Chain A
Amino acid sequence: MLTALLLIPFIGGLALLLLPSSVAPVRMRSVAIVFLSLQLLLSVALLIPFDPSVGTPQLVEFTPWVSRIGLDYRLAVDGLSLPLILINAALTLVSAVCTRDISQRPRIYFSMLLLISGAVNGAFLADNLLLFVIFYELELIPLWLLIAVWGGANRGYASTKFLIFTAVSGFLILAAFFGLALVSGSVNFNITPALTENLPVATQLVLLVTLLIGFGIKIPLVPFHVWLPDAHTQASTPVSVMLAGVLLKLGTYGLLRFGLGLFQEVWPLVAPWLAIWAAISVLYGSLAAIAQSDMKRMVAFSSVGHMGYVLLAAAAATPTALLGAVFQMVSHGVISALLFLLVGTVYRKTGTRDLSVIRGLLNPERGLPLTGTLMILGVMASAGLPGMAGFISEFLVFQGSIQAFPLATLLSMVGSGLTAVYFLLLVNRAFFGRLAVTPVEDPVAHGRLDVQLAAVAPRETIPAVALALSVVGIGLIPSALSRISDSATQLMAQMPGGMG
C-alpha cells in the first residue's frame, strides 16, 4: 500500500511524459488531476489500516536492496508522517488544479509536479536513512526546474540560489548520515536510536549540528532562509503552494525524525540553544515581514516565522509540544497554501502584488470580494485566531514549551502577535479603502472609478474555498488530527531526549 503511494505519482509523471505533445494542455492537466486524486484517495485510505494507538512505525514494507552499503527499501508510516502524507497529496492536487497558465511545456510541468509529490511521499515514508536522502535529493531537481523554467522575470537568480542552498542542505544531511554510519561502525541505515548509543558526546554533537544546519536550511531558519523569499517571489502560484505547503515540511520532519529521534542523548544539551534559535527565527521572520511591500515576500517571511514554532516545540520535546509541532506543520501547510493561492489570484487579476499600489479589493461590484473574504480568514488563521487551525497549533506548542523554555516561548508569542500586525497591514492596504490599482503618489490616477477587475469564476475559487474550509475544520475539530498523531508524539517525547 505504501509502495503504491510512490508508484501512482511516478507512473503518472512517466505517463504524462509519454503523451504525444499534440494533446491539449488542459487535457494533460486532467490526466495529472486524475493521478493526484488517486493519490489523495489512497492517502486517505491509509487511515483504515493505520492503527492510531501504535506510536511506532507501522505497515512496514521491506525489500533488501543494496544491503552491502546499508541501502534497503524499507517503508513505514507513523503518526508523524501520516498527516504530512495527507497534506502532500491534498496540496499537490490543489496546485495542479490551480495551474492556469499552462501553454509552456505542459507535459514536463505536470510530470515534474507528480515527480515532486512522489519523492516527498518517499521521503516521509522512508524508514532507512539512505533511502530518505535519495528521495530528499530527488525532489530538488524538479522543483528547481519548476522555478527556473516557469518562474518570474528574475527566475535564474532565484532558482540557482534555491538549488545551491538546498543542495548544500542535502549534502550536509548525507554527510551526517555517512559520518554516523562510519563512526558507529554500523552498515545498516535503519532509523534507530541505537545508532548513536555508544558514541562520545562530542562526536554526537558534531553530527547533530551538521544535521541541524542541513535541515535548518530547508525549514528554513534564520540565517539560512535567504533562498526562500526569492524562490517564492519568482515561482508561480502552484509552485509556491508546493514549496510552502509541502517542501518546507521535509525540513521540520527531518528535524523531528532524525534530530530528536536519533540523538536523544545530546538533544537536551542543544535544546536550550535551539529554543533561542527558534525565538530569533520567529521574531526575525515576523519583523522582516512587516517591512515587505510585496505580498508574496510577506507571506514567505511569515513562513520563516511560523516554522520557528516547530523548532521551539522540538526543543521542548514534551508530548504536548510535539503534538503541537505536527499541528503546526499541518496548519502552516494549509494556511500558507491558501494565502499563496489568494495572492496568486490578486496578482493574476491586478497584475501586481505591490501593497503600495493595490487598494480596496473588497469592492463587491468591481473588486475581488470573495478573494478578500477568504484572505481575511486566511490571515486571521495565520495570526492564531481561535476557531481556525493556527490557534490550536500555536496553543499546543506554547503550552508544551513554556515550562521548559519560558523566555523563548514568550518571545515566540510576541512573534505571534506581530503576525497580526503585518497581515492586518496587508488586508488594510490591499483590500480596504477605495478600489484602485495605481500608486498612491499619483493623485490623478488614484481613486479613479473606472477600475474594473475581471471577476473570479466560481470554479476557480474551489481550491481556495476547500482550503479555507479545512482551516476552519482543523480549528474546530482538532481531535481528528490528534487522534492520528498523539501516540507517536507521546512515544517520541518519552524517549530519553524528550521531556515527557
Chain B
Amino acid sequence: MNAHLPLSIQLSWLIPLYGFSGVLLSLPWATGWVKRNGPRPAAYLNLLMTVLGVAHGSLILAWVQQNGGVVIEWPWFETSGLDLRIGFDLSLTNLAALEFVTIMSLLGQVFALGYLDKEWSLARFYALLGFFEGAMAGVVLSSNLFLSYFVLEMLTLSTYLLVGFWYAQPLVVTAARDAFLTKRVGDVLLLMSVVALAAWAGSLDFEDLYAWAAQVKADGSISPLLGTLIGLGLIAGPMGKCAQFPMHLWLDEAMEGPNPASILRNSAVVTCGALVLLKVMPLLQLSPVAIDVLLIIGTISAIGGALVAIAQVDIKRAFSYGTTSYLGLVFVAIAVQQPIVAVLLLFAHGLAKALIFMSVGSVIATTNCQDITELGGLGPRMPATTGSYLIAGAGLTGVLPLGCFWCFGLLVDGLWANYPWLVPVVLLTNALTAFNLVRVFRQVFLDKPHPKTKRTPEVNWLMALPMVSLAVVVLLVPLIFHRIYPIAGVEVVSLFSMVAVVVSSLVGVVIASGIALDKFGSRSVFKPLRTLQDLLAYDFYTERFYRSTVVAFVAFLARITDAFDRLLLNRFVNRVGTSSMVSAEGLRLAVSGQTQSYVLTVLLAIVLLLSALVWWRAA
C-alpha cells in the first residue's frame, strides 16, 4: 500500500504513538517499581519521544510542502455492516497544527522539569502528558470523524487525569469532575451525531461526508430536523473542548491542575477542539440553525469571557477566561465561513497564550502565590518573565503588528461586508483583553513589592529557556504567517481595520493604566460597582445556576428512581413474598395430612391444565 510514498509518510501512524508510548515508558517510575535516582528518567524518556515526534512531523511537513497533501489510511475494524479506518489527512494545515502541538508539548515538558522540580509523582505527570500529546496529535491529523471522536474522548480522559493530578486537594476533586462531565456532555452529543452520520451517510470519512452533505442539501433527502440535530451535535463536542459558554466552567476550575498542563490546555487543547470544528464545518451546511448557534455562542463567549476575565484575582484564571473569549472569536470566524482567519487566530492565540501561561507559571513558581492582589513589583526582579509577559500581551492584542493584530485586522475586514454588527464584538474583545493584560501587569510587575514578592529571583534555566524561546517565536509570528499562507496575504488588511484594531487596543490600555487597583482584601465601597464586580468575578453565577438546575434535576431524578425502587417495587415484592408465606402457613393447617388428598389435588390440577391446553389448541 502506498509504496511510492516516502518512508516518513508510510510510518506516519507512529506520530500519535510517540506520545502514547510515553505512558508505557513512564510506568516503571510512575508505579514505583524503580525508585533509584528519582523519577526524572521517565521525564527524559518522554522528552525524547516528543523530540522524535517533532522531527518526524517536520520530515513529513517538508515533504508535503513540496509535493502537496496526502491522505493515508489503515484498516482497523471491518464487519459486515461497518468499515472503520484509521486515517490521517496529511495536509499543510494539519501538519502545521501537528508541529504546533508537538512543539508546545516539548516546551511544556521542559518547563515542567523546572516547575515540578520537587514533585514526587513526576513520572505520572509525564505519563499523562504523553497521553495528552498522543491524543492531540491524533485529533489534528485525523481524516475521519470516527477517529476524531475516538481521540477527542481520550483527550477528555487525559484532561480529567491531568486536572486531577493533585487528587488529594478538595478543589481539585471537583475541578476534575466538572472538567470530565462538562466535556462528556459535549462528547455524548457529538457521539449522537457521529452515530447518526454513520447510519445515514454510510461513511465517516470527512471527504465522503462532505460529498454526502452537498448531495443531501441538493436533493433534500433527509429531514431538516435531522440535519439540524446532527449539526447541533457536531458543534457540541468542540464547544465543550473549547470551553465556550455555557460549557466554559471547566477551564476555569481546571486551573487547579499543575501549570505546565495549563499551558497546553489553554493553547494546544482548545486549538484541537477548534480544528475538529473546522473539519466538520462543511457538514454544517445541513443546518443553518447550527451556524446561527455557533455565531451566537461565539459572540457571547468572546465578550462574556473577556468581561469575566477582568474581574478575576487569580492570576491563572484571569487568562483562562481569555481563552474562552478568543476561542469565541474563532467560532465566529468559522461561523462566517472564514476558515483561514480562524486557523491564523488559533496559531497566534495559541503561541501567545502559552507564553503568558509560562510567564504566569514562573511567577507562581517563584512566589508560591496566585492572588494578584498579593503580588507586586516583580518587574525589575524577574526580567525574563516580565519581558515574556509583555511580548505575549503584545501578541494577544492588536497593539503591535504581531500575530493577533493581523488576525483581528483580517477578521474585521471579513466581517465588514456581511456582518458589520460583529465588528464591535471583535474590537470590544480586543479592548477588554488589553485592559485585562495591563491591569494584571500593573498589579504584578509594577507597583511596590509586597511581603510575598520581596525575595523573588528569576526562574532557573529549565523554565527560562522554553519561555524565552517561545517569546522569540511569538515575535516571529508575522513572518511565519507569511511563510505558511503567502496567498492569504496578511499584508492586504485595510488601513481602516488596522486603525480600528490599534485604537481599540489603546483604549483598553489607557483605561487600565488609569484605574485604581484593588489591594488584598479591599473591594469597592460603591454598591453598584461591587455588584457588577461580583457578577463577573463569580462568572455570572454560572456554577450556582448549574447546581440549582441541571445538577439538581439529575439528582432529583436519581432520588425519585431510587425511592421508587426501594419503597414501591421492593416493598411490593416483599409483600407478595410475605403473603404467600402466610397463605402457605394457612394451607398447612387446612390440609388433612392424608396422602390420598395430596395425590388427588395434584391429579386434579394436571387434568385441568391439560384440558385447558387442549381446548386452547383446538380454538
Please report A residues at the B interface, Cβ cutoff 8 Å: 160-161, 164, 179, 182-183, 223, 226, 284, 287-288, 290-292, 318-320, 323, 360, 362-364, 369-370, 376, 380, 383, 385-387, 391-392, 395-396, 398-400, 402-403, 406, 409-410, 413-414, 416-418, 420-421, 424-425, 428, 431-435, 478-479, 482, 486, 489-490, 500
Inter-subunit contact B168/A360 (CB<8 Å): yes
Closest to A292 in B: B562
B81 within 8 A of A: yes
Per-residue CB proximity of B305-341 to A under 8 Å, as 1/0?
Answer: 0000000000000000000000000000000000000
Main secondary structure of the interface of B (DSSP, over half): helix
Binds A, one of B183-191, B344-352, B368-376, B434-442: B183-191
Main secondary structure of the interface of A (DSSP, over half): helix
Inter-subunit contact A486/B80 (CB<8 Å): yes
How long is the Cα–Cα vector from A482 to B80 in the complex, in angstroms? 9
Inter-subunit contact B188/A482 (CB<8 Å): no
* Best-surrounded residue of B80, B153, B184 (most CB of chain A within 10 A): B80
Residues in B166-210 with C-beta less than 8 Å from chain A: 167-168, 170, 172-174, 176-177, 180-181, 184-185, 188, 191-192, 195-196, 198-200
Inter-subunit contact B168/A434 (CB<8 Å): yes
B608 within 8 A of A: no
Q: Which residues of B contact A391 (CB under 8 A)?
A: 150, 153
Binds A, one of B479-487, B512-520, B565-573, B591-599: B565-573
Inter-subunit contact B184/A417 (CB<8 Å): yes
Query: Which listed residue (A387, A418, A421, A433) contacts B168, Cβ 8 A?
Result: A433
Query: Which listed residue (B150, B154, B180, B573) contacts A424, Cβ 8 A?
Result: B180
Query: Which listed residue (B151, B199, B558) contacts A399, Cβ 8 A?
Result: B199
Inter-subunit contact A400/B81 (CB<8 Å): yes
Closest chain-A Cβ to B185's Cβ sits at a distance in Å of: 7
B79 within 8 A of A: yes
B585 within 8 A of A: no
With A164-B577, A292-B562: A226-B199 Cβ-Cβ less than 8 Å: no
Residues in B585-619 with C-beta less than 8 Å from chain A: 613, 616-617
With A421-B181, A428-B176: A226-B81 Cβ-Cβ less than 8 Å: no
Query: Which listed residue (A161, A323, A409, A478) contacts B195, Cβ 8 A?
Result: A409
Q: List 22 A-B contacts (CB under 8 A).
A: A226-B573, A292-B562, A320-B81, A323-B80, A360-B167, A363-B168, A385-B153, A385-B156, A386-B154, A395-B195, A396-B79, A399-B82, A399-B199, A402-B195, A403-B200, A413-B192, A428-B177, A433-B168, A433-B173, A434-B168, A482-B78, A482-B79
Inter-subunit contact A398/B617 (CB<8 Å): no
Inter-subunit contact A399/B569 (CB<8 Å): no
How long is the Cα–Cα vector from A125 to B31 in the complex, in angstroms? 43
Q: Which residues of A contact B32 (CB under 8 A)?
A: 364
Inter-subunit contact A182/B613 (CB<8 Å): yes
How long is the Cα–Cα vector from A418 to B188 in the complex, in angstroms? 10
Q: How many residues of B contact A (CB 8 A)?
A: 55
Closest to B560 in A: A287
Inter-subunit contact A320/B559 (CB<8 Å): no
Closest chain-B Cβ to A25's Cβ sits at a distance in Å of: 32
Query: Which listed residue (A223, A416, A431, A486) contacts B167, Cβ 8 A?
Result: A431
B561 within 8 A of A: yes
Inter-subunit contact A320/B79 (CB<8 Å): yes
Inter-subunit contact B80/A288 (CB<8 Å): no
Residues in B126-158 with C-beta less than 8 Å from chain A: 149-151, 153-154, 156-157
With A292-B562, A387-B154, A478-B77: A402-B181 Cβ-Cβ less than 8 Å: no
Inter-subunit contact B167/A385 (CB<8 Å): no
Inter-subunit contact B79/A319 (CB<8 Å): yes
With A399-B198, A420-B180, A486-B80: A387-B150 Cβ-Cβ less than 8 Å: yes
Inter-subunit contact B558/A223 (CB<8 Å): no
Query: Which listed residue (B80, B195, B569) contacts A490, Cβ 8 A?
Result: B80
B71 within 8 A of A: no
Inter-subunit contact B565/A226 (CB<8 Å): yes
Inter-subunit contact B196/A402 (CB<8 Å): yes
How long is the Cα–Cα vector from A392 to B199 in the complex, in angstroms? 15
How long is the Cα–Cα vector from A486 to B573 in the complex, in angstroms? 41
Q: Which residues of A contact B184 (CB under 8 A)?
A: 383, 417, 420
Closest chain-B Cβ to A181's Cβ sits at a distance in Å of: 11
Inter-subunit contact B570/A396 (CB<8 Å): no
B164 within 8 A of A: yes
With A287-B557, A292-B562, A433-B173: A386-B168 Cβ-Cβ less than 8 Å: no
Inter-subunit contact A398/B167 (CB<8 Å): no
Inter-subunit contact B157/A385 (CB<8 Å): yes
Inter-subunit contact B79/A287 (CB<8 Å): no
B495 within 8 A of A: no
Closest to B570 in A: A226
How long is the Cα–Cα vector from A4 to B195 in the complex, in angstroms? 42
Inter-subunit contact B559/A486 (CB<8 Å): no
Closest chain-A Cβ to B569's Cβ sits at a distance in Å of: 6
Q: Which residues of B contact A182 (CB under 8 A)?
A: 613, 617
Number of A-B contacts (CB under 8 A): 138
B211 within 8 A of A: no
Closest chain-B Cβ to A434's Cβ sits at a distance in Å of: 5
Q: Which residues of A contact B570 (CB under 8 A)?
A: 226
Top 10 A-B pairs, shortest CB-CB distance: A291-B562, A290-B558, A320-B81, A417-B188, A287-B561, A386-B150, A432-B167, A291-B558, A432-B173, A319-B81
Q: Which residues of A contact B177 (CB under 8 A)?
A: 424-425, 428
Closest to B180 in A: A424
A360-B167, A395-B191, A413-B192 are known; give 18 further A-B pairs, CB within 8 A. A160-B577, A161-B573, A288-B561, A288-B565, A291-B559, A360-B168, A362-B167, A385-B156, A385-B157, A399-B82, A399-B199, A413-B191, A416-B188, A420-B180, A420-B181, A425-B177, A432-B167, A490-B80
Query: Which listed residue (A179, A387, A432) contacts B172, Cβ 8 A?
Result: A432
B70 within 8 A of A: no
Closest chain-A Cβ to B488's Cβ sits at a distance in Å of: 35
Per-residue CB proximity of B545-575 to A under 8 Å, as 1/0?
Answer: 0000000001101111110010001100100
Q: Which residues of B contact A482 (CB under 8 A)?
A: 77-79
Closest chain-B Cβ to A8's Cβ sits at a distance in Å of: 32
B121 within 8 A of A: yes
Inter-subunit contact B82/A396 (CB<8 Å): yes
Query: Which listed residue (A364, A396, A406, A413) contacts B188, Cβ 8 A?
Result: A413
Inter-subunit contact A319/B80 (CB<8 Å): yes
Q: Which residues of B contact A363 (CB under 8 A)?
A: 168
Closest chain-A Cβ to B151's Cβ sits at a distance in Å of: 8
Inter-subunit contact B154/A399 (CB<8 Å): no
Query: Which listed residue (B157, B558, B617) contacts A380, Cβ 8 A?
Result: B157
Q: Which residues of A contact B157 (CB under 8 A)?
A: 380, 385
Q: Which residues of A contact B77 (CB under 8 A)?
A: 392, 478-479, 482
How long is the Cα–Cα vector from A486 to B31 in the complex, in angstroms? 39
Closest to A227 in B: B573
How long is the Cα–Cα vector from A479 to B555 in the complex, in angstroms? 39
Q: Which residues of B contact A413 (CB under 8 A)?
A: 188, 191-192, 195
How long is the Cα–Cα vector from A402 to B198 in the complex, in angstroms? 10
Inter-subunit contact B199/A323 (CB<8 Å): no
How long is the Cα–Cα vector from A478 to B83 in the complex, in angstroms? 12
Closest to B164 in A: A432
How long is the Cα–Cα vector from A432 to B171 in the complex, in angstroms? 11
How long is the Cα–Cα vector from A487 to B555 in the complex, in angstroms? 43
With A398-B195, A403-B200: A370-B168 Cβ-Cβ less than 8 Å: no
Closest to B576 in A: A164
Q: Which residues of B contact A160 (CB under 8 A)?
A: 577
Inter-subunit contact B198/A288 (CB<8 Å): no
How long is the Cα–Cα vector from A196 to B200 in the complex, in angstroms? 34
How long is the Cα–Cα vector from A490 to B560 in the complex, in angstroms? 40
How long is the Cα–Cα vector from A319 to B77 in the complex, in angstroms? 15
How long is the Cα–Cα vector from A179 to B562 in the complex, in angstroms? 37
Q: Which residues of B contact A414 (CB under 8 A)?
A: 188
Inter-subunit contact B561/A284 (CB<8 Å): yes
Closest chain-B Cβ to A463's Cβ sits at a distance in Å of: 18
Inter-subunit contact B195/A399 (CB<8 Å): yes
Q: Which residues of B contact A403 (CB under 8 A)?
A: 199-200
